[in-house]
C-alpha cells in the first residue's frame, strides 16, 4: 500500500483548506503506517504555475503550505513530504504520458473547462496538461491509494485510463491502477459572511474566513459574528436545506469535532445561534489554537521547513528514479 496525494500551493492558509484535505492526510498517516503502508504527500508547486503567480509569492506559498501540513500534524518521520519541482521525474514522466493520453480525453476534463472559461484559446498549455502532470505525480510512485476531494475524481479516472493504456500499448505491467479515496469527510467550507461562496483567501473581507494563523480572539470573534439566521437549529439534517448559513456552521462544527452533522443537531437542535455560535467559537479555538501556535513557530524558523522538503525530495527521488527508468525502458528510451 502506497498512499500519494498532493496539494496545490496556491497559498490558502485557512480553515477550508485544513478541513478539506490536510486533516484527512493527518488522520490517515497512522492507519497507513499500521497497515505497513507508506504515506507520501507533496506540495504541487508545478501545478500552482497554472494559476499564474508572482515568483516570490509562489516560493512563500510553498513554504507556508508545508508549514501548515506540519503544524496540522503530518510527521516527516512517518510520511515523505516534498515539493514537486525538486523531483524532476514528475516533469519527465509527464512528457512520456503526454504521448499516451489522448486530446479527446483531456477535452472532457471539467476542471479545465471551468478554469479556462470562455477564453479557451488564451488558456495556457500547462492548464490543459494539468491532469497529465497529476497522473504522473501518482504513477511515478506506483501509488495504490490516492486521497482526493470529490472534485478530483475525474482526474483520478483519467490517471487510471492513462495507466491502462500505457501498460497495454507497451505490453508491460509498469503502473498499478490507483484507487481513489474520496473522503466524504472533506466538506466544502463556505464563507462566514455569504454561505453561497466558498471560503477563500482572495475575499477582500477577512471576516469571511478563519485563517490558520488567526489569534484565539480573532477566531472567536469571527464565529460570533458569522452570518446566521433567526431560527433555531433544526433537529435533523434535512432541516438545513435552504439554510446555507446554518448548514455551513453545523458542517464546520461537525468537521472540527470529528462527528457527523446529525450528531451536532442531536445536541444543539432547538437551540438558537446565541448558544450555538459561542460553542462553535470555543471548539474552534480549542482545535485550531495548537495548530496556530505550531504554524507561527514554523513560519519563524523557515529553515526547519526547508530542511523537511529537502530531505523529503531526496527520498522521493530515490523512489521515482527507478520507476521513471522502467517507463523509459518500456518505451524504447534505454540508451
Ligand atoms: N489537483 C489536486 C487538487 O487540486 C492536487 C494534486 C496535484 C493532486 N497532483 C496530485 C492530488 C496528485 C492527488 C494526487 O486538489
Write the DSSP assignment of 197-220 as a string of letters: SB--TT-S-GGG--BTT--HHHHH
Lowest mean pLDDT across 23-27, 261-265, 313-317? 23-27
- The set of catalytic residues is 115, 198, 201
Which residue's CA lies nearest to atom 13 of ligand 1?
5
| Cα 98 to ligand 1 centre (Å) | 17
- Main-chain dihedrals φ then ψ at residue 99, nearest 5 degrees: -90, 0
Mean pLDDT of 206-222: 96
**In this structure, what are the phi and psi dihedrals at residue 161, rounded to the nearest 5 degrees?**
-65, -40
Query: Can you list the domains of the chain with their CATH numbers?
Result: 2-187+302-330 (3.40.50.620), 206-297 (1.10.240.10)
Task: Report the separation in Å between the CA atom of 265 and the middle of ligand 1, taken as the mean of its atom positions.
Answer: 33
Residues 198-234 as b/e (b if ≥16 CB within 10 A, e otherwise) read: bbeeebeeeebbbbbbbebebbbebbeebbbeeebbb
Tens-digit pLDDT profile for residues 137-154 = 999 999 999 999 888 999
Mutate to test the pocket of ligand 1, among 3, 42, 148 (most ligand atoms within 8 A of CB): 148
How much is the pLDDT for 13? 79
CA of 275 to the centre of ligand 1 (A): 39
Rounded to whole angstroms, how far apart are CA atoms 142 and 3? 9
The alpha carbon of 95 and the centre of ligand 1 are apart by a number of angstroms equal to: 18
Centre of ligand 1 from the C-alpha of residue 157, in Å? 13
Per the structure block, which three cell numbers stand in for 142? 506506483
Q: How far is CA 256 from CA 68, 250, 285, 287, in A?
A: 16, 10, 10, 7
Q: What is the pLDDT of residues 232-281, one digit of tens each?
A: 999 999 999 999 999 999 999 999 999 999 999 999 999 999 999 999 99
Candidate from 7, 111, 188 with most ligand 1 atoms within 8 A of CB, to mutate: 7
Q: What is the pLDDT of residue 205?
A: 94
pLDDT, one tens digit per residue, over 87-106 is 999 999 999 999 999 999 99
Contact 114, 155 (CB under 8 A): no
Alpha-carbon distance 104 to 112, whole Å? Answer: 13
pLDDT band per the 50, 70, 90 thresholds, residue 309: very high
> Which of 21, 48, 112, 137 to probe ligand 1 with, by most ligand atoms within 8 A of CB?
137
Is 173 strand, coil or helix?
Answer: coil
Per-residue DSSP letter, 240: G
Nearest CA to ligand 1 atom 11: 6
Residue nearest to atom 2 of ligand 1 (CA): 7
Ligand 1 pocket by C-beta < 6 Å: which residues?
Answer: 4-8, 44, 47, 134, 137-138, 146, 148-149, 152
Atom of ligand 1 nearest to the CA of 147: 13
Tell me, in angstroms, the distance from the centre of ligand 1 to residue 252's CA. 23
- Look at residue 5 and give its three-state secondary structure: strand
What confidence score (pLDDT) does residue 150 get?
A: 84
Ligand 1 atom 14 nearest Cα: 5
Q: What pLDDT sits at residue 265?
A: 97
Amino acid at each position: 500500500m502506497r498512499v500519494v496525494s498532493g496539494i496545490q500551493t496556491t497559498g490558502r492558509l485557512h480553515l477550508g483548506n485544513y478541513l478539506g484535505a490536510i486533516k484527512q492526510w493527518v488522520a490517515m498517516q497512522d492507519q497507513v503506517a499500521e497497515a505497513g503502508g507508506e504515506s507520501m504527500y507533496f506540495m504541487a508547486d508545478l501545478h500552482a504555475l497554472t494559476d499564474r503567480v508572482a515568483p516570490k509569492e509562489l516560493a512563500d506559498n510553498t513554504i507556508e503550505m508545508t508549514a501548515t501540513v506540519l503544524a496540522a500534524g503530518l510527521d516527516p518521520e512517518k510520511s515523505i513530504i516534498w515539493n514537486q519541482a525538486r523531483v524532476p521525474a514528475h516533469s519527465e514522466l509527464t512528457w512520456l504520458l503526454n504521448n499516451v493520453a489522448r486530446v479527446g480525453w483531456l477535452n472532457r476534463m471539467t476542471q479545465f473547462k471551468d478554469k479556462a472559461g470562455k477564453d479557451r484559446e488564451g488558456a495556457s498549455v500547462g492548464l490543459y496538461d494539468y491532469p497529465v502532470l497529476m497522473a504522473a505525480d501518482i504513477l511515478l510512485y506506483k501509488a495504490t491509494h490516492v486521497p482526493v476531494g470529490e472534485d478530483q475524481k475525474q482526474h483520478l479516472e483519467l490517471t487510471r485510463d492513462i495507466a491502462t493504456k500505457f501498460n497495454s500499448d507497451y505490453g508491460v505491467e509498469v503502473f498499478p491502477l490507483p484507487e481513489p479515496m474520496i473522503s466524504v469527510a472533506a466538506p466544502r467550507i463556505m464563507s462566514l459572511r455569504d454561505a453561497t461562496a466558498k471560503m477563500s483567501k482572495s475575499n477582500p473581507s477577512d471576516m469571511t474566513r478563519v485563517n490558520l494563523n488567526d489569534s484565539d480572539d480573532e477566531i472567536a470573534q469571527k464565529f460570533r459574528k458569522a452570518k446566521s439566521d433567526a431560527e433555531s437549529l433544526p433537529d435533523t439534517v434535512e432541516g438545513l436545506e435552504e439554510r446555507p448559513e446554518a448548514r455551513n456552521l453545523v458542517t464546520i462544527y461537525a468537521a472540527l469535532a470529528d462527528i457527523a452533522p446529525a450528531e451536532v443537531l442531536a445536541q444543539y437542535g432547538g437551540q438558537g445561534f446565541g448558544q450555538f455560535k459561542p460553542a462553535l467559537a470555543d471548539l474552534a479555538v480549542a482545535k485550531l489554537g495548537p495548530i496556530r501556535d505550531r504554524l507561527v513557530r514554523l513560519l519563524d524558523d523557515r529553515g526547519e521547513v526547508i530542511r523537511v522538503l529537502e530531505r523529503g525530495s531526496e527520498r522521493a527521488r530515490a523512489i521515482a528514479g527507478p520507476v521513471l527508468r522502467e517507463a523509459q525502458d518500456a518505451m524504447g528510451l534505454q540508451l
